[in-house]
Structure 1
């Protein structure tokens, strides 16, 4: 009788354990609680997304044509996270096979296409926009949050701001500017190239003019047009890396002087705050400003390859705000372009700390044209950070896009943007797959059965 009760109790105990385990699994899969301990917040919605969702005043309908793939599950999980932030998002998961008429209405031909609809306007996010190749083989990044948030912003925006990238002087362009153009467009802007040689003025629809990395001077007429643009309340972003003879560029120097800044033309060396120990790639400290505040909170650094230092023109300090500054151990190498140049501190070199970026704010009414808004500018002592892979180094992207957003006066664009989420796929060769199968499905259960059988046999004989 006692043995019988022991068997019953053991059975009840085992069944209870299994039941508790199943319950935990079910709850964990459906529970709304999520914790993200990553520094960059890869597993939580970005501040930009939350602000966009909270700003919704009308309902946006979302049709997600998902399948059971990893991408499809990421899409569904992300949309559920969006719904927790607002009640203005009506999400519907659609099987295009069961509802072909809806798929046809929005011309959906691929699984994991997501359609956002507000009134008569619609934005379509294709599956190709959701996934980008990762840095390593067989790795992918999921850009769903970036794409979804921008789709919602496009639906609610009254117009798309226009950003012009100045060309004609060796500025960052082509494939080097691909990431810059992509993210500026992703922020809801129209991005156009501008060669002032073919113009009579900076176009009237220019919200921001970007001058990133000229390797030669502007012409007299170009400088006059840009100054007129600023007089009318224009917004300019200038980025410079050291170039041979740049201190003798009279027109660019004149333009910077109008902004209250002088470029030293030196090569900044910072042995204390350097990117992976490279003193020619400073990692400057932030100064408090709207552009930098959230980057400071998240401890996301900016990296400035091939930087030159900036100085205020006497009497202009009132309109300037520092954004980036080197350590005290830094110095500006003034003879870097000489044939026998050595990168080492000399008497003629500029002593740190050195300023690498300024925000320029004119007082209201200082635009020289009647009824003009106050001009604004951001001047950065590195154009290399705009090009290629450097654009995506930690805080560089957000710093540059925040600068553009600040120039536009759009607080929602001065923030931390969505981070690409890893979407990992692993290829397992057939031989290794068979080994894993035999080890986990066959060998382990056999070991447990044999071990249990031995223990049972010994206890029975005892």
Structure 2
């Protein structure tokens, strides 16, 4: 009788055996799937913007490339893999490295100085997180700070509301690969006809250096031309002795209306010329040009007997600004380079003049030094040139280089520099011109690379995740019941049924 009470029914025993077999099979499948996913390095990107996967356009393009592309990433991938905020960049690097056309090399520049020097010999100043892409001698340098952008939105009161981070690296990297593979030429034209400094006589070293960065520099005479050439990426006006003509004003404004880029290197001019038409262009970009030459009165800030050659300061970009042209210059300062300007005029930002309004963004790049921090400086703007009297400028910080862009004119950009000699053959390699020279290279990249050469048409991917907004406590309780309590109750009931069947006779 005792044996009959403890004996397990045949149906129960078969049910238990089947459950154990199916459980073992399920466990084996889970383990096998994990091993396969780990071995195949499969990524399931469930984010709304697909920020952990390359877009289909990039994947299709990389499959079509039939040339070898050397891809140098100056960062330790193992370190990057531990940074949650950098996961879009980490996964992008992994995917790029998997294509046959890509010779991917990632390294820490501090740990591998030989490889870093190799890149520097290509003509680049590189730092941690940068990317250099090369194909058949053509190269592109992508600074680390371009990989992500932060967009800040404000409410109606003007107060900061929210900030969104976008991964923009894929668009720039794929665009750079296409640029070096196809060998696109970037044309920079130097304006002639106004006694300017000339590319073939005054800037021969610059011309060679630009060629190493895939920029082709040529002269441009608009006194008889009706338009700026279609392939013009940047136009440079280098120390003109006379103003541009009315026809040139129209031609250059037409060029800017199409998203053109102009650099004005406006060295002081002691002649009585008025730059009325050039000032008209600057005014539309909220910039005014002074007729002066800046001199420093603090003897600690200039070499003996040369007050027009003086120390200045780099203007650090505001954290909320999407335009950053100076952060890369900090490394030169860390290495001992002192921002310096010589023989320069000054500029200032203006409001409600020309055609400028809210769609114009203007900022300063180099300024005289404010020792006290009250908006004043010991530098002065001594009147020079022009046909009418000007006042001496004192007790204010003077802008020596500025930038501006107009979103209503297809993103047209201009840059003004108060010195026209800093890049000529006599000064380009002078230690005191290190900051202005590299600032100008940064401006070239801003004007062209980021918007044209490196633009593959891939939108920035916002770092967002699917989420559920719960508006009240009652709704939260309902959701808790649906997603927590109900599954728990169902599990308990299922467990009770199984136990009852397990020990039933």
Q: TM-score, normalised by structure 2?
A: 0.48
SS of residue in 1 equivalent to 2:206? helix
The structural deviation recorded for 1:313 is 2.7
Gaps of 5+ in 2: 1-71, 76-92, 104-113, 123-127, 140-175, 318-323, 370-376, 455-505
Q: Does 1:401 align with 2:441?
A: yes
- Determine which of 313, 319, 342 is the counterpart of 1:285: 313
Q: C-alpha separation between the residues in 1 aligned to 2:379 and 2:262?
A: 28
Residue 322 of structure 1 aligns to a residue whose secondary structure is strand
Are 2:234 and 1:208 aligned?
Answer: yes
Query: Does residue 356 in structure 1 map to residue 400 in structure 2?
Result: yes
Asked if 1 retains the 8 angstrom alpha-carbon contact of 2:378 and 2:394, the reply is no
What is the DSSP-based 3-state SS (H/G/I as helix, E as strand, rest coil) of the residue aligned with 1:395? helix
Match of residue 324 from structure 1? 366
Residue 382 of structure 1, CA deviation: 1.2
Secondary structure of 2:233's counterpart equals strand
Alpha-carbon offset, residue 336 of structure 1: 7.5
1:312-354 residue CA offsets vs partner (Å, 9 max, x unmatched)? 233358621111110200000015799xxxxxxx973444310
Q: Does the alignment pair 1:374 with 2:374?
A: no
Are the aligned partners of 1:247 and 1:253 in contact in 2 as well (CA < 8 Å)?
A: no
Output one character per residue of 1:219-267: Cα deviation in whole Å (capped at 9) or x when no partner: 1111110011111111111110111346622222222222221211101
Tell me if 1:172 matches 2:186. no
Choose from 353, 374, 384 the match for 2:421: 384
2:203 is paired with a residue whose SS is helix
CA distance in 1: counterparts of 2:134 and 2:288, whole angstroms: 49
Query: Is the CA contact (8 Å cut-off) linking 2:234 and 2:260 kept in structure 1?
Result: yes
Cα RMSD, aligned residues only: 4.2
Which ranges in structure 1 are unaligned for 5 or more consecutive residues?
A: 1-47, 62-73, 90-115, 126-150, 339-345, 368-372, 415-462
Deviation at 1:182, TM superposition (A): 1.8
- Kindly provide the CA deviation profile for residues 10-58 of structure 1, in whole angstroms up to 9, marking residues without a partner as x: xxxxxxxxxxxxxxxxxxxxxxxxxxxxxxxxxxxxxx9849xx78765
- From the superposition, tell whether residues 351 and 298 of structure 1 become closer, same or farther in structure 2 (CA, over 3 Å): same
Pair 1:222-2:248 in alignment: yes
CA distance in 2, matches of 1:347, 1:221: 31
Aligned pair count reads: 284
User: Structure 1 residue 188: deviation in Å?
Assistant: 1.2
Question: Aligned equivalents of 1:332 and 1:407: distance in 2?
Answer: 29
Secondary structure of 2:330 counterpart: helix
Whole-Å separation in 2 of the counterparts to 1:229 and 1:50: 37
2:281 to 255, 275, 298: 255
Partners in 1 of 2:232 and 2:338 — Cα distance?
30
Work out whether 1:334 is the aligned partner of 2:374. Answer: no
Q: What SS does structure 1 have at the residue aligned with 2:308?
A: strand
- Say if 1:402 and 1:77 are closer, same or farther in 2 by CA, change over 3 A: closer
* Deviation of the 1:172 alpha carbon: 1.7
CA positional deviation for 1:284? 1.8
